[in-house]
Amino acid sequence: MNKVDHSFTIGNVKFNNTVLTASGTYGFGLEFAKIIDVSRLGGIATKGLSLEPKKGNPGERIYETPAGMLNSIGLENPGVDSFKKDYLPEAAKLGTKIIANISGSSLEEYGLMAESLESEKDVAALEVNISCPNVKAGGMAFGTDLKMVEKVTEIVKKNTTKPVIIKLSPNVTNIVDFAQAAQYSGADAVSLINTLMGMAIDINKRKPVLGNVMGGLSGPAVKPVALRMVYQVSQKAKIPVIGMGGISNPRDAIEFLLAGANAIMLGTINFREPQMPLDIIEGIEKYCLDNGFNSVQDLVGLAWKEEKHVKTNRCT
Ligand SMILES: Cc1cc2nc3c(=O)[nH]c(=O)nc-3n(C[C@H](O)[C@H](O)[C@H](O)COP(=O)(O)O)c2cc1C
């Protein structure tokens, strides 16, 4: 039994732990459940779901980089109907909250995805991936256009009563504007960051390595960028912030909490050290006990909150 309160809430949903796993790095949790006790996690964000099944991108999809990885999976997934029928019933038995990560290639698709999951009682919340190309607008990602972020948020909110988490793209000039656009349009929380666009070239073939040419960079290489963005967004946001990007050990996780994240998600580290989410939960517990905090939420934003505020927020 934990001596520290690890819970946090989004909308009307209470999560038992601030440590969750990030979309696309944990499937639907079923494989990892054979290795670790996933019921100790605050939740699992599913692989990004689309209206129809997707095969993903051809050619090389993953490339290891110094301190990180590039991926261009292309949202391979079984589609929302198969998710509901074939995966959700099993995932619901894992004893942790399931967050459905949804994507769309048009505004209408985002609305239909939200509607399709509305009656699923085992889906605790929706996380909306806006780093997807808007096919009708020539393939520009929804998440890099402020107006589109507002419209996606509005249409998803209109079609669901579940808490809506908008997952922000870091591939923008000022991420705070995007967080605020999501918040003003009704988002219940924001999560950040999705991957940073990057690429690699095979010097022998003299061609890009990835089949899709460009891919998303994740892992320790992106951590300082992600931490900076969480620090900026959380000072302006009036809704919970979920931080992610390169978190690989308890110290990284605590940095994100101090930067202002109410919860964190772990992605790339799951491929290398699948037990790390539990090590991080224990590390956060120890840090709180050693420093006299009895709730993880008391750590949130201490890196920027004024000293006066720090003292009143401490529960010693
Ligand atoms: C292989 C892979 C697949 C991913 N798929 C998705 C996805 O389907 N939807 C999504 O919103 N984010 C996806 N992401 C982004 C992660 O959820 C996370 O935002 C990002 O990797 C940064 O965290 P990390 O550095 O801890 O991995 C994916 C990341 C990786 C590495």
Q: What spacing in Å lies between the alpha carbon of 88 and ligand 1's midpoint?
A: 20
250 pLDDT band (50/70/90 cuts)? very high
Q: What spacing in Å lies between the alpha carbon of 1 and ligand 1's midpoint?
A: 31
Within its chain, how far is the Cα of 152 from the centroid? 17
Give tens-digit pLDDT for 180-225. 999 999 999 999 999 999 999 999 999 999 999 999 999 999 999 9
62 has pLDDT over 60: yes
Residue 288 and residue 296 in contact, taking contact as beta carbons nearer than 8 Å: yes
Q: What spacing in Å lies between the alpha carbon of 21 and ligand 1's midpoint?
A: 10
63 pLDDT band (50/70/90 cuts)? very high
315 is an active site residue:
no
Quote the CA–CA distance of 138 and 146 in Å, as a whole number.
Answer: 16
134 pLDDT band (50/70/90 cuts)? confident
313 has pLDDT over 90: no
User: From atom 28 of ligand 1, which residue's Cα is the shortest distance away?
Assistant: 24
Per-domain boundaries in the chain: 8-313
**Of 136 and 271, more confident:** 271
Q: What spacing in Å lies between the alpha carbon of 127 and ligand 1's midpoint?
A: 12
Tokens of 274: 């699948």
Asked whether 245 lines ligand 1 (CB < 6 A), one says yes
170 has pLDDT over 90: yes
Asked whether 160 lines ligand 1 (CB < 6 A), one says no
- At 136 the pLDDT is 82
Asked whether 222 lines ligand 1 (CB < 6 A), one says yes
Q: What spacing in Å lies between the alpha carbon of 80 and ligand 1's midpoint?
A: 18
User: Is the preceding peptide bond at 193 cis, omega within 30 degrees of 0?
Assistant: yes
**Of 313 and 175, more confident:** 175
Share of the chain above pLDDT 90, in %: 93
48 has pLDDT over 80: yes
- CA separation, residue 178 to residues 43, 44, 111, 191, 303 (Å): 25, 24, 20, 11, 22
279 has pLDDT over 80: yes
What's the chain's average pLDDT? Answer: 95
Average pLDDT (294-307) is: 93
User: From atom 11 of ligand 1, which residue's Cα is the shortest distance away?
Assistant: 129
Question: Which class is 8-313 in CATH?
Answer: alpha beta
Asked whether 268 lines ligand 1 (CB < 6 A), one says yes
DSSP label at 84? I
**How many other CB atoms are there within 10 angstroms of residue 308's CB atom?**
8
Asked whether 23 lines ligand 1 (CB < 6 A), one says yes
Q: Which of 99, 132, 156, 264 is catalytic?
A: 132
- At 1 the pLDDT is 56
101 pLDDT band (50/70/90 cuts)? very high
Asked whether 24 lines ligand 1 (CB < 6 A), one says yes
User: From atom 4 of ligand 1, which residue's Cα is the shortest distance away?
Assistant: 24
Residue 246 and residue 68 in contact, taking contact as beta carbons nearer than 8 Å: yes
